[in-house]
Amino acid sequence: MKRLGRGLESLIQDVEKPTTGTVSTINIDLIKPNRFQPRRIFNEEKLNELADSIKENGLIQPLVIAKINENEYELIAGERRLQACKMCGLKEVHVHIKEVDEKTSFVLAIIENIQREDLTPIEEAKSYKRLIDEFDLQHQDIAKIMSKERTTITNSLRLLKLSENIQSMIDNKQLSPGHARAVLSVNEDLQEDFAKRIIEKSLNVRKAEEEAKTLISGTTKTPKVVPEPMLFEKSYIKQTEKSMTKSLGQPVKIKEKGNASGDLIIHFDNKETLEKLVRLLS
C-alpha cells in the first residue's frame, strides 16, 4: 500500500475537534462497529459510568461515522460512546457523517482509540504495528501523528517481542511497561520465569532492573579456564627438543597437552631420511 499523505493529518485533527456543522440523527442499529477496532478489553465500570452520564445529559459529542450504503454506516470514532448508548437503550443517536475511504477509516479508527481510549500497552503496540504493516508508516510518521516521541513508539513496539504469556501479564496489569522493558533485557529463555518473579516478589521497576542486570551478568560471564598443570618446565622441553634434534639430525618438536600426554613430532624431508630415523629409533 502507498504511504498516506499529509491530507490524513488534517482529517485526523478534524475528527479530534468537537463536532460542528451538520449533525444527523439516525437509528443506532444502522451503525456497524469499526472492523479495524484495535481495542479488545473494555472497562465495564467506566462503560457503566459513561452510560449513566449519557442517560443524565444525553450524547454531548456525536459519533463520527462513514456511510457504506443507504441503510448501513460504519463507526469511525466513538466506540465506547456507541456501546454506552446501547447500554442506555437509545434507539437513535446524533452522528457526524464523513466521507472517507477504507484506508483512512482504518487509520482513524486506530488513532482515535490510541488518543481517546484507555488502551492496554499491548493493544497500543499492536495498533502501531498495524499502521506500519498495512500502511508502510515509519516510527517517525506515527510519532508525528500521535504527537509523541519516536522512542516512545519504538519502545511500545518492543513489547510485541515478548511471549503471549508475558503480554497477558501486561494486559492484566500485573506488569507495567517499565517492568516489561526490564524483562526484555534478559535472555529470552529466562524472561517468563523472571516476569513471574517480579509479580511474586512485587518488585518495583527499579528493583526489577537491578535483578535483570544480575541475570545478564550471570548468563554472559565467560567461565574461567584453568590451564592444565605443565608436566615439565618450558626450559626443559626446549632443551630436550634441541638435544633430540642434534642426535637425530632432524627438527624435533614436543607439544604437551596436559594429563601426562602430548605429541613428539619429528620432521623428515624424504624417504631416505624417514628410513634413517626408523633405524635410529629402532
| Full pLDDT tens readout for the chain, 282 residues | 344 444 445 445 544 444 444 678 889 889 888 776 656 566 677 778 888 888 888 887 888 888 888 788 888 877 888 888 888 888 888 888 887 776 677 677 777 666 655 678 998 898 888 888 877 888 988 888 777 899 999 999 999 999 999 999 999 999 999 999 999 999 999 999 999 999 999 999 999 999 999 888 765 444 454 455 555 677 778 878 888 888 888 898 888 776 567 788 888 888 888 888 888 887
> Does 39 lie in the same domain as 113?
yes
Residue 222 lies in a domain: no
> Does 125 lie in the same domain as 90?
yes
Residue 228 lies in a domain: no
pLDDT at 199: 95
> Does 142 lie in the same domain as 20?
yes
User: Cα–Cα distance between 229 and 226 in angstroms, integer?
Assistant: 9
Residue 248 lies in a domain: yes
Phi, psi (deg, nearest 5) at residue 252: -125, 135
Number of folded domains in the chain? Answer: 3
Residue 225 lies in a domain: no
> Does 73 lie in the same domain as 22?
yes
Per-residue CA distances from 117 to 11, 41, 56, 88, 124 (Å): 19, 11, 22, 20, 10
> Angle CA(170)–CA(171)–CA(175) in degrees, nearest 5?
20
- Residue 120's CATH number: 3.90.1530.10
> Does 95 lie in the same domain as 171?
no
Listed residues 152, 176, 204: the one ending a domain: 152
> Does 126 lie in the same domain as 11?
yes
Return all residues near 72 (Cβ < 8 A) that are at least 6 apart: 30, 32
> Does 213 lie in the same domain as 258?
no
pLDDT at 166: 95
Residue 102 lies in a domain: yes
DSSP type of residue 25: E
> Does 109 lie in the same domain as 56?
yes
Q: What pTM, to 2 d.p., does this model score?
A: 0.56
> Does 123 lie in the same domain as 36?
yes
Return all residues near 106 (Cβ < 8 A) that are at least 6 apart: 36, 130, 134, 135
Domain span at residue 257? 234-281
Residue 74 lies in a domain: yes
Residue 113 lies in a domain: yes
Residues annotated as catalytic (active site), given as ranges? 79
Residue 227 lies in a domain: no
> Does 193 lie in the same domain as 273?
no
> Does 175 lie in the same domain as 144?
no
